[in-house]
Amino acid sequence: MHINIASIAIGIAIGILLAIIIYIIQRNSAFKIIAHAKSMADEIKKDARKESENAKKTAILEAKDEWFKQKNNYEKEIKERQNELRSQEKKYNERLSSLDKRLETLDKKESMLTDQERNLKNRETEVNQKGTEYNNLILEQKNKLAEVAGLSREEAIQRMREELINQARQVASNEVKQTIEQIKLDANQKAAEILSTAIQRMAVDYVSETTVSVVSLPSDEMKGRIIGREGRNIRTFEKASGVDLIIDDTPEAVVLSCFDPIRREVARLALEKLISDGRIHPGRIEEIIAKTNKEMDENLMKLGEQAVLDTNIHNISPNLIKLLGRLNYRTSYGQNILQHSIETAWICGILAAELNLDQEIARRAGLLHDLGKALDHEFDGSHASLGANVARKNGEGKLIVNAIEAHHEEVEPTSVYAVLAQASDAISGARPGARREMLETYMQRLTKLEDIANSIDGVNKSYAIQAGRELRIIVEPALIEDSQASVIATDIATRIEKEVQYPGQIKVTVIRETRQVAIAK
């Protein structure tokens, strides 16, 4: 029992000792852990302080940079505003200076106006005084005139009134005359504009077609075959065609002579067919000429129809269409009359369009105006009257008939279309290149016209214009009176008719003008 208690006591002591040892060991471990933790905490604190210092430095640097940037921006903005303020100040100063100058100018003007107003008042006073004196003087003169003339005051006033009325009528007459002259001038200018527009729109190349009268032969032996035995072939040819066939020494050629260009053209075509065929005898000659005549009639219709189509005209009689085709073989001063008629039609239509008139009527008048030239070898009379008669017989209206008959002023025009046809005819025939004429002959004719005018006493200058269709003469106003101007124009026109060869008509215009010049120094 005693042993068990001792053993228990020893065991308890040993347990307590082990507990104490374990406690001591654990305490030492805890101290070590605490010390290690403290050291780690110190290191963390140091690192935190370093990081905070670095962050603080970085923030300070960034703040300084931002501050410098803001400072630079503020300084730049301040400089710009200062510059703007300086410029505005400069403008303000300039405006002040300008206003000062204007004020000075206004002061001067005000002073001048005050002086002028004072002068005007003085002058008004003087004028009123003089007006009173003038009225008194007039009254005195009227009384004296009444005494001298033995008239009463009322009678003198009546005579003065009549005299003033006559003077007013004279002034009004002069103004009316000037107004009429101005209207004529404006009308001429407008007409010139319209004509220039028509000429520009019709400024096309013009080729003058002439009727060929020479037929080429393959060889001189063909001349004998054309003549035939005892001349029977040539006699048959001349009788059937109505053309003289001239065979002379011209190598490899024969000449056809006839006043009628269509018969001459039929003969030329027939002779070429005979030469090409080779069979030349009286029967064959008559057959070929008859066939060619028929072909010519068909060709004339085609030419006329083409002209009508080209000018866009409708409802024309076949007889007139055939006559238009005949114009293709007629020329006037080298100008093909059919082409001239087509051109005249278009010019007439252009002029009508400018004047807001019926273009088709105008073109119709222009196309048919020279229709009589297809007949004047067969009938008596001028081509204008012949054309008017045949147009009337074939159903053309009064406007067209009058335009044809009046285009050379043989009768008075009854409508504006007749005037347009006349003007278009002159434009087509007078423009350069329309009619064949050598330059040397043309220049000689113009020089001759001017020489005739310059040979008259009192003529200062003369000009041949419009391709020689007008002679404009300027006379000395001190030597020539108005009544003499018309006499000079008539004399010059008479001399031109006797001494100069020219196509168409020539207008003689005599100009007498007085100018008074004064120079103010």
pLDDT score of 53 more than 50: yes
- Residue ranges, CATH 3.30.1370.10, the chain: 207-299
- What value does the mean pLDDT take over residues 451-455? 89
pLDDT score of 462 more than 50: yes
Averaged confidence pLDDT in the chain:
79
What pLDDT score was predicted for residue 280?
84
Of 140-154, 186-200, 242-256, 382-396, give the lowest mean pLDDT range. Answer: 186-200
Highest mean pLDDT among 209-223, 288-302, 495-509: 288-302
165 Cα distance to chain centroid: 49
* DSSP secondary structure of 136-157: HHHHHHHHHHHHHHT--HHHHH
Residue 340: both structure tokens together:
């001239």
Interatomic CA distance for residues 84 and 77, integer angstroms: 10
pLDDT score of 153 more than 80: no
What pLDDT score was predicted for residue 211?
43
How would residue 161 be classed by pLDDT, with cut points 50, 70 and 90? Answer: confident
What pLDDT score was predicted for residue 193?
63
Q: Which helix (H) or strand (E) holds 475?
A: strand 470-475
How would residue 207 be classed by pLDDT, with cut points 50, 70 and 90? Answer: very low
What pLDDT score was predicted for residue 463?
86
How would residue 212 be classed by pLDDT, with cut points 50, 70 and 90? Answer: very low
| CATH 1.10.3210.10 holds for 311-436 | yes
What pLDDT score was predicted for residue 210?
45
- Residue ranges, CATH 1.10.3210.10, the chain: 311-436
Query: In this structure, which long-range contacts are made by residues 460-469, counting pairs with CB atoms below 8 Å and at least 24 apart in sequence?
Result: 466/430, 467/430, 467/431, 467/432, 468/442, 468/502, 468/506, 469/426, 469/430, 469/504, 469/505, 469/506, 469/507
| pLDDT tens profile 411-439 | 888 888 888 888 888 877 765 544 544 45
Higher pLDDT, 180 or 431: 180
* DSSP secondary structure of 34-51: HHHHHHHHHHHHHHHHHH
- Residue ranges, CATH 3.30.70.1350, the chain: 439-512
User: Per CATH, the architecture of 207-299 is what?
Assistant: 2-Layer Sandwich (3.30)
* DSSP secondary structure of 408-471: TTSS---SHHHHHHHHHHHHHHHSTTSS---HHHHHHHHHHHHHHHHTSTTEEEEEEETTTTEE
What pLDDT score was predicted for residue 96?
84
How would residue 359 be classed by pLDDT, with cut points 50, 70 and 90? Answer: confident
End-to-end CA distance of the chain: 174
What pLDDT score was predicted for residue 150?
61
User: Per CATH, the architecture of 439-512 is what?
Assistant: 2-Layer Sandwich (3.30)
Judge if pTM exceeds 0.85.
no
**3-state SS class at 228:** coil
Alpha-carbon torsion 130, 132, 137, 142, what sign? Answer: positive
- What value does the mean pLDDT take over residues 493-518? 81
